Each structure stands twice: as structure tokens, then as C-alpha cells.
């Protein structure tokens, strides 16, 4: 057996651990492993390396991916030079499939989020033997309880909330921390709870400007002259839309969210005589070494993916449910986003300890 592996979409801690898990498990069975460079771009442009045991030795502790990645190299709408160009997308999926056949690759492991796995699903429908592995710091794939990369991003965000407390309290400021997460508020919610955030704003609970101001004023009335606000990049008001920083053509999800924290700061400073400072974590959440949990989870995902290949169970994604690995169809994996339920135990917990979600309708 000769298998291929690629890492697509945004980078995150744990990718190398999955590459290692797949490679070591496959080599132990006597298989060959080919790593495609820069995600689906390497598959389309036929750029790859042969992975041996020495290539993956020691990479479990490293963030990023030794294979490189891309979030714009969609084989079904390819816009990258020299094979295509921006504004003139080409369907080069047949070329990608042909490259796999020429290399004699019997199965492909695609590691990524919803965009990468949607492409994997389409390739499977064209006859490619594909197994998916769920990667996203957003934790927004509904077919798995958790995705690798999320725990590492959560650690970074929580540490940031912790560190903002001292400067906020010293200067009597409102400190606003903006996290990633796209359309799901998991990072903001859990880091806000873990770090003791006073106000948490997430996409699933649209905020009211007057309720954010009221929450800050309520703390000030109690003698608390500082507030910590944790804002998911996808947060929006009841009347507004998400804040888009830019549009990246050719990407499976072209909208790049960001900047809502500055909007919140403007709202507060416009109503209260208090200084607001904004910290946008951005790609800091994607960097650094993976947490022990993500290393453990990624290794398990990689080994389980090889097991699916051995059983010829293709068109499936490795999933983590009830604290063990299993699998689901790629169709089920990308059908719906996993988002925070406003009536969930986590939200109720935050409300119970006095956290505001910027909307007075949500209270205990």
C-alpha cells in the first residue's frame, strides 16, 4: 500500500502530530507514505516528498506543519499560478486525481477543517479513496466532540485573559480581547469562563449595545473600576452583521472576520468616561507547540486514520466521541457547523457566576 497525506486550510498546533501518527502507523505496516506540499496545491501541481521515520521523528512537539498548507488551493476552483490565476478559476480536480493514480497512491489522508473536508468529499465522489482528519481551532465540526488544535488555541486565549486582568485593574480600564472562532464562539466562551471574563460576546448570542454598557456600569456601581470583555471575531449585534476585515478570493470561506472589538470599544467610550484598550489575538492562537491533550488526540487521530485505510473504510472522517476515536461519513462531517447552544450548560454556568453576554434576555 502507498498512501498520501496533506494538510489543508489554516495551520494549527497538532498538525505535525497527526502527520507523525499517520506516517509511523503506516510505515509499521510496511506501507509507503507520500506527503503533498502545501495542501491541495501539492496534489494539483504534483509537488510531494517521501516521508520516512526520520522525517517525522521529534515533530510531535512542533506547531505548524512540515508539509506546508494552503487555504486557497481548491482543485475544483483553482486560482493559483502557474496553472491558473486569480479571477479565472479552473476545475483541475481531474488533474489532481490523475496525479494520485500516476504515483500509485491507493488512499489519501486529508487533514483539515470544513473547507478541506468538503474538497475531500468531492474527491471521494470522483473515486478517490479518502479518509479525513478534523482540524480546526474553531472546534466547529458537528460530527466530532472536539477537533485537534482547539485546546492549544484555548490555552493561548485563556493566558491572554489572565494577563489582561492585572493591567485592567491597575489602570481602571476596560480591556477587550478578540479571539478567533469564525461563526462559532467556543474559544471566546471557554477562555472567558476559564479566565473570569466579565462580559463574553459570541456569534450565537447577538449583543445589545445598551446591555454591554449597562454591564460595565453595573460593575462600576459595585466599585469594580475595570472590566474584561472577551469577544469572538464573529460576534454581532441584534441589528448588525459580522465585522469583515477583508475578502480572500479563491478560499473555501472567503470572508476574513475581525475588528469587532474596536466597534465594542467605540460603543463603550461613547457612553461612559472610561478608557478601553483592545487586544486582537489573531494568529497567535494558531502558533506555538500543541498542548499535551492535542498531541494525544492528534496521535490517536493519525493512527485511527491508518486503521480506516486498512479496513478500506473510505469517504469517512475520524471523529472523537464519548472520549474515544470513531468515524463518520464525510457527508455527515461537513453537513452542519457545531455552534454554542445559548441554552447549554456552559452558558448557564457563566450566567450563574455573573458573566454578561451583552444581552439582558439571557440571564438566570
Roughly what angle, to the nearest 10 degrees, separates helices 114-125 and 93-102?
70
| First-last CA distance in the chain | 57
Residue of 11, 38, 114, 138 with catalytic role: 138
Q: Compute the distance between CA of residue 121 and CA of residue 129 in angstroms, rounded to an integer.
A: 10
Look-up of cell digits 466562551: 189
Beta-bridge partner residues of 328: 317
Q: Compute the distance between CA of residue 187 and CA of residue 202 in angstroms, rounded to an integer.
A: 9
Q: What is the largest CA-CA distance in the chain?
A: 71
Catalytic: 140?
no
Q: Compute the distance between CA of residue 307 and CA of residue 314 in angstroms, rounded to an integer.
A: 11
Environment class of residue 86 by beta-carbon count within 10 Å: exposed (0-12), middle (13-18) or buried (19+)? exposed
Q: Is 38 left (phi over 0), alpha (psi -120 to 50) or beta?
A: left
Give me the phi and psi of 124, to 5 degrees please.
-65, -40
Give me the phi and psi of 7, to 5 degrees please.
-120, 120
Residue 194 and residue 340 in contact, taking contact as beta carbons nearer than 8 Å: no
Environment class of residue 247 by beta-carbon count within 10 Å: exposed (0-12), middle (13-18) or buried (19+)? exposed
Angle CA 59–65–71, to nearest 5: 170
Residue 9 and residue 112 in contact, taking contact as beta carbons nearer than 8 Å: yes
**H helices present in the chain, as ranges:** 15-28, 40-45, 53-56, 93-102, 114-125, 150-171, 186-195, 209-221, 260-271, 292-310, 330-333, 345-352
Q: Compute the distance between CA of residue 134 and CA of residue 114 in angstroms, rounded to an integer.
A: 8
Look-up of cell digits 486557497: 72
Q: Which residues are catalytic?
A: 138
Amino acid at each position: 500500500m502507498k498512501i498520501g497525506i496533506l494538510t489543508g486550510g489554516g495551520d494549527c498546533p497538532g498538525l505535525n502530530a497527526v502527520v507523525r501518527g499517520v506516517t509511523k502507523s503506516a510505515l509499521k505496516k510496511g506501507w509507503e507514505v507520500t506527503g503533498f506540499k502545501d495542501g491541495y496545491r501539492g496534489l494539483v501541481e504534483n509537488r510531494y516528498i517521501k516521508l520516512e521515520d526520520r522525517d517525522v521523528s521529534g515533530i510531535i512537539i512542533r506547531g505548524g506543519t512540515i508539509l506546508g498548507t494552503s487555504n486557497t488551493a481548491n482543485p475544483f476552483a483553482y486560482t493559483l499560478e502557474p496553472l491558473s490565476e486569480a479571477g479565472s478559476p479552473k476545475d483541475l480536480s481531474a488533474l489532481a486525481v490523475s496525479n494520485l493514480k500516476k504515483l500509485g497512491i491507493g488512499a489519501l489522508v486529508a487533514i483539515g477543517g470544513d473547507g478541506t473536508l468538503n474538497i475531500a468529499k468531492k474527491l471521494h465522489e470522483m473515486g478517490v479513496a479518502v479518509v479525513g482528519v478534523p482540524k480546526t481551532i474553531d472546534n466547529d465540526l458537528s460530527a466530532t466532540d472536539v477537533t485537534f488544535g482547539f485546546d492549544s488555541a484555548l490555552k493561548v486565549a485563556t493566558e491572554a485573559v489572565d494577563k489582561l486582568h492585572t493591567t485592567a485593574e491597575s489602570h481602571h480600564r476596560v480591556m477587550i480581547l478578540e479571539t478567533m472562532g469564525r461563526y462559532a464562539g467556543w474559544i471566546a466562551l471557554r477562555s472567558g469562563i476559564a479566565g473570569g471574563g466579565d462580559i463574553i460576546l459570541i456569534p450565537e448570542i447577538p449583543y445589545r449595545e445598551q446591555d454591554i454598557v449597562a454591564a460595565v456600569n453595573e460593575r462600576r456601581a459595585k466599585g469594580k473600576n475595570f472590566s474584561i470583555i472577551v469577544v469572538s471575531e464573529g460576534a454581532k449585534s441584534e441589528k448588525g452583521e459580522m465585522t469583515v476585515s477583508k475578502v480572500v478570493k479563491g478560499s473555501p470561506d472567503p470572508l476574513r472576520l475581525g475588528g469587532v472589538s474596536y466597534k465594542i470599544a467605540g460603543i463603550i467610550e461613547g457612553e461612559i468616561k472610561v478608557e478601553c484598550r483592545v487586544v486582537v489575538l489573531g494568529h497567535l492562537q494558531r502558533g506555538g507547540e500543541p498542548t499535551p491533550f492535542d498531541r494525544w488526540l492528534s496521535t490517536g487521530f493519525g493512527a485511527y486514520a491508518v486503521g480506516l485505510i486498512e479496513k478500506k473504510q473510505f469517504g469517512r472522517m475520524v471523529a472523537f466521541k464519548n472520549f474515544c476515536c470513531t468515524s463518520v461519513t464525510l457527508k455527515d462531517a461537513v453537513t452542519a457547523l457545531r455552534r454554542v447552544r445559548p441554552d447549554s450548560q456552559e452558558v448557564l454556568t457563566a450566567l450563574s457566576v455573573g458573566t454578561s453576554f451583552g444581552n439582558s434576555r439571557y440571564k438566570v
